[in-house]
Amino acid sequence: MSAKRTEEIAVAVDTEQLIKDTAKKIFFGEGRFNATTQEIADAAGVNRTLINYYFRSRDNLFNIVFEEAQAKEHERTEMIVFADMPLRDKIAQYLDIMLEQSKDYPYLEIYMVTQMNQGCVYKDPETMNRMLDKFYLQIAIEMDKGNIAKMRPEQFLLNFISLTSFPVSMRPLLQETMGFSQESYDRLLEERKQIILDMLFINKDEL
Protein backbone atom coordinates (compact mmCIF):
# COMPACT_ATOMS: atom_id res chain seq x y z
CA MET A 1 0.00 0.00 0.00
CA SER A 2 1.37 3.41 -0.97
CA ALA A 3 2.13 6.10 1.57
CA LYS A 4 -0.51 8.32 -0.02
CA ARG A 5 -3.19 5.63 0.30
CA THR A 6 -2.21 4.99 3.92
CA GLU A 7 -2.55 8.70 4.65
CA GLU A 8 -5.96 8.83 2.95
CA ILE A 9 -7.22 5.94 5.08
CA ALA A 10 -5.91 7.59 8.26
CA VAL A 11 -7.68 10.84 7.37
CA ALA A 12 -10.91 8.97 6.67
CA VAL A 13 -10.74 7.15 10.01
CA ASP A 14 -10.04 10.41 11.85
CA THR A 15 -12.93 12.15 10.11
CA GLU A 16 -15.35 9.33 10.85
CA GLN A 17 -14.34 9.33 14.52
CA LEU A 18 -14.60 13.13 14.69
CA ILE A 19 -18.17 12.95 13.42
CA LYS A 20 -19.07 10.26 15.96
CA ASP A 21 -17.47 12.16 18.84
CA THR A 22 -19.27 15.35 17.84
CA ALA A 23 -22.60 13.57 17.51
CA LYS A 24 -22.16 11.97 20.93
CA LYS A 25 -21.48 15.36 22.48
CA ILE A 26 -24.54 16.89 20.82
CA PHE A 27 -26.87 13.98 21.55
CA PHE A 28 -25.79 12.97 25.04
CA GLY A 29 -23.82 15.97 26.25
CA GLU A 30 -26.31 18.63 25.21
CA GLY A 31 -29.47 16.54 24.99
CA ARG A 32 -30.19 17.62 21.42
CA PHE A 33 -31.60 14.29 20.25
CA ASN A 34 -33.27 15.93 17.25
CA ALA A 35 -30.15 17.71 16.00
CA THR A 36 -29.99 17.76 12.22
CA THR A 37 -27.24 16.40 10.01
CA GLN A 38 -26.29 19.96 9.16
CA GLU A 39 -25.98 20.94 12.84
CA ILE A 40 -23.71 17.96 13.49
CA ALA A 41 -21.62 18.78 10.42
CA ASP A 42 -21.27 22.43 11.46
CA ALA A 43 -20.20 21.44 14.99
CA ALA A 44 -17.65 18.95 13.60
CA GLY A 45 -16.40 21.43 11.01
CA VAL A 46 -17.04 19.06 8.09
CA ASN A 47 -19.23 19.04 5.00
CA ARG A 48 -22.69 17.55 5.57
CA THR A 49 -22.20 15.15 2.66
CA LEU A 50 -19.44 13.41 4.64
CA ILE A 51 -21.97 12.35 7.27
CA ASN A 52 -24.11 10.77 4.57
CA TYR A 53 -21.00 9.20 3.04
CA TYR A 54 -19.84 7.55 6.28
CA PHE A 55 -23.17 6.90 8.00
CA ARG A 56 -25.86 7.11 5.27
CA SER A 57 -28.28 9.01 7.52
CA ARG A 58 -28.59 10.96 10.75
CA ASP A 59 -30.64 8.17 12.35
CA ASN A 60 -28.01 5.58 11.48
CA LEU A 61 -25.32 7.82 12.99
CA PHE A 62 -27.42 8.19 16.13
CA ASN A 63 -27.87 4.41 16.43
CA ILE A 64 -24.16 3.73 15.89
CA VAL A 65 -23.13 6.29 18.52
CA PHE A 66 -25.64 4.92 21.03
CA GLU A 67 -24.72 1.27 20.43
CA GLU A 68 -21.01 2.03 20.84
CA ALA A 69 -21.69 3.90 24.09
CA GLN A 70 -23.80 1.03 25.39
CA ALA A 71 -21.23 -1.58 24.41
CA LYS A 72 -18.46 0.45 26.05
CA GLU A 73 -20.42 0.68 29.30
CA HIS A 74 -21.05 -3.08 29.24
CA GLU A 75 -17.35 -3.76 28.63
CA ARG A 76 -16.31 -1.39 31.41
CA THR A 77 -18.73 -2.99 33.87
CA GLU A 78 -17.50 -6.46 32.96
CA MET A 79 -13.88 -5.42 33.51
CA ILE A 80 -14.67 -4.07 36.99
CA VAL A 81 -16.83 -7.02 38.07
CA PHE A 82 -14.16 -9.59 37.16
CA ALA A 83 -11.25 -7.55 38.52
CA ASP A 84 -9.27 -9.07 41.40
CA MET A 85 -10.14 -6.53 44.07
CA PRO A 86 -12.47 -6.17 47.10
CA LEU A 87 -16.13 -5.43 46.43
CA ARG A 88 -15.95 -1.98 48.01
CA ASP A 89 -13.06 -1.03 45.70
CA LYS A 90 -15.01 -2.26 42.67
CA ILE A 91 -18.00 -0.14 43.58
CA ALA A 92 -15.78 2.87 44.28
CA GLN A 93 -14.13 2.48 40.88
CA TYR A 94 -17.48 2.15 39.13
CA LEU A 95 -18.75 5.27 40.87
CA ASP A 96 -15.68 7.23 39.78
CA ILE A 97 -16.23 6.29 36.13
CA MET A 98 -20.00 6.75 36.11
CA LEU A 99 -20.02 10.07 37.92
CA GLU A 100 -17.25 11.42 35.68
CA GLN A 101 -19.16 10.30 32.59
CA SER A 102 -22.29 12.08 33.84
CA LYS A 103 -20.41 15.38 33.70
CA ASP A 104 -19.59 15.01 30.00
CA TYR A 105 -22.77 13.21 28.93
CA PRO A 106 -25.60 14.06 31.35
CA TYR A 107 -28.27 12.82 28.92
CA LEU A 108 -26.72 9.45 28.11
CA GLU A 109 -28.02 7.55 31.12
CA ILE A 110 -31.60 8.71 30.74
CA TYR A 111 -31.57 7.83 27.04
CA MET A 112 -30.23 4.36 27.85
CA VAL A 113 -33.07 3.83 30.31
CA THR A 114 -35.59 4.94 27.69
CA GLN A 115 -34.15 2.57 25.09
CA MET A 116 -34.04 -0.33 27.53
CA ASN A 117 -37.73 0.19 28.26
CA GLN A 118 -38.29 -0.25 24.53
CA GLY A 119 -36.23 -3.43 24.41
CA CYS A 120 -33.21 -1.81 22.73
CA VAL A 121 -30.56 -3.14 25.09
CA TYR A 122 -27.07 -4.51 24.58
CA LYS A 123 -27.70 -8.26 24.65
CA ASP A 124 -25.12 -10.72 25.87
CA PRO A 125 -27.04 -12.89 28.36
CA GLU A 126 -24.19 -15.34 28.92
CA THR A 127 -21.77 -12.64 30.01
CA MET A 128 -24.47 -10.86 32.02
CA ASN A 129 -25.28 -14.04 33.93
CA ARG A 130 -21.59 -14.63 34.67
CA MET A 131 -21.25 -11.06 35.92
CA LEU A 132 -24.30 -11.37 38.16
CA ASP A 133 -23.12 -14.71 39.58
CA LYS A 134 -19.71 -13.21 40.36
CA PHE A 135 -21.23 -10.07 41.86
CA TYR A 136 -23.79 -11.94 43.99
CA LEU A 137 -21.12 -14.30 45.31
CA GLN A 138 -18.88 -11.43 46.36
CA ILE A 139 -21.83 -9.68 47.99
CA ALA A 140 -22.69 -12.83 49.95
CA ILE A 141 -19.08 -13.17 51.13
CA GLU A 142 -19.04 -9.57 52.34
CA MET A 143 -22.31 -10.17 54.19
CA ASP A 144 -20.80 -13.17 55.95
CA LYS A 145 -17.85 -10.99 56.98
CA GLY A 146 -20.26 -8.44 58.44
CA ASN A 147 -19.27 -5.72 55.99
CA ILE A 148 -22.75 -5.50 54.46
CA ALA A 149 -26.15 -5.73 56.12
CA LYS A 150 -27.85 -9.10 55.63
CA MET A 151 -30.29 -9.09 52.71
CA ARG A 152 -30.79 -10.84 49.42
CA PRO A 153 -27.88 -9.98 47.10
CA GLU A 154 -30.44 -8.78 44.58
CA GLN A 155 -31.65 -6.19 47.10
CA PHE A 156 -28.10 -4.94 47.59
CA LEU A 157 -27.74 -4.57 43.82
CA LEU A 158 -31.04 -2.68 43.62
CA ASN A 159 -29.87 -0.34 46.39
CA PHE A 160 -26.61 0.27 44.57
CA ILE A 161 -28.32 0.94 41.23
CA SER A 162 -30.94 3.22 42.79
CA LEU A 163 -28.43 5.31 44.73
CA THR A 164 -26.19 5.65 41.71
CA SER A 165 -28.44 5.88 38.67
CA PHE A 166 -31.31 8.07 39.83
CA PRO A 167 -29.37 11.32 40.40
CA VAL A 168 -27.51 10.70 37.12
CA SER A 169 -30.41 9.68 34.87
CA MET A 170 -32.63 12.42 36.32
CA ARG A 171 -29.91 15.04 36.28
CA PRO A 172 -31.50 17.46 33.78
CA LEU A 173 -34.76 17.56 35.75
CA LEU A 174 -33.17 17.62 39.22
CA GLN A 175 -30.59 20.22 38.26
CA GLU A 176 -33.34 22.50 36.97
CA THR A 177 -35.91 22.00 39.73
CA MET A 178 -33.37 22.15 42.56
CA GLY A 179 -31.79 25.30 41.16
CA PHE A 180 -28.27 23.95 40.63
CA SER A 181 -25.82 25.20 38.06
CA GLN A 182 -23.82 22.71 35.98
CA GLU A 183 -20.81 23.13 38.29
CA SER A 184 -22.74 22.93 41.55
CA TYR A 185 -24.54 19.75 40.47
CA ASP A 186 -21.19 18.24 39.49
CA ARG A 187 -19.98 18.91 43.04
CA LEU A 188 -23.16 17.36 44.42
CA LEU A 189 -22.49 14.19 42.45
CA GLU A 190 -18.86 14.10 43.59
CA GLU A 191 -20.07 14.13 47.20
CA ARG A 192 -22.32 11.16 46.50
CA LYS A 193 -19.48 8.68 46.09
CA GLN A 194 -18.64 8.61 49.80
CA ILE A 195 -22.31 8.87 50.78
CA ILE A 196 -23.18 5.81 48.67
CA LEU A 197 -20.26 3.79 50.04
CA ASP A 198 -21.24 4.70 53.61
CA MET A 199 -24.83 3.63 52.96
CA LEU A 200 -23.93 0.32 51.32
CA PHE A 201 -21.14 -0.81 53.65
CA ILE A 202 -20.96 -1.10 57.43
CA ASN A 203 -18.27 0.98 59.08
CA LYS A 204 -17.14 -1.29 61.89
CA ASP A 205 -15.20 1.54 63.50
CA GLU A 206 -18.52 3.21 64.34
CA LEU A 207 -20.02 0.10 65.97
Domains in the chain, ordered, with CATH? 1-56 (1.10.10), 66-206 (1.10.357.10)
Q: Is the pLDDT of residue 9 over 50?
A: no
What is the residue-averaged pLDDT of the chain? 87
- The mean pLDDT value for 171-180 works out to 90
User: Percentage of the chain with pLDDT > 70?
Assistant: 88
- The mean pLDDT value for 180-190 works out to 91
Length of the chain: 207
Q: Is the pLDDT of residue 114 over 80?
A: no
Q: How far apart are CA 60 and CA 80, in angstroms?
A: 30
Return the sign of the alpha-carbon dihedral for residues 181, 187, 191, 196. positive
- The mean pLDDT value for 123-132 works out to 83
Q: Is the pLDDT of residue 203 over 70?
A: yes
C-beta separation of 169 from 110 below 8 A = yes
- The mean pLDDT value for 44-49 works out to 92
C-beta separation of 48 from 58 below 8 A = no
User: Percentage of the chain with pLDDT > 90?
Assistant: 57
Grade residue 120 by pLDDT with cuts at 50, 70 and 90: low
- The mean pLDDT value for 140-163 works out to 94
Cα-based angle 195, 138, 144 (whole degrees, multiple of 5):
85
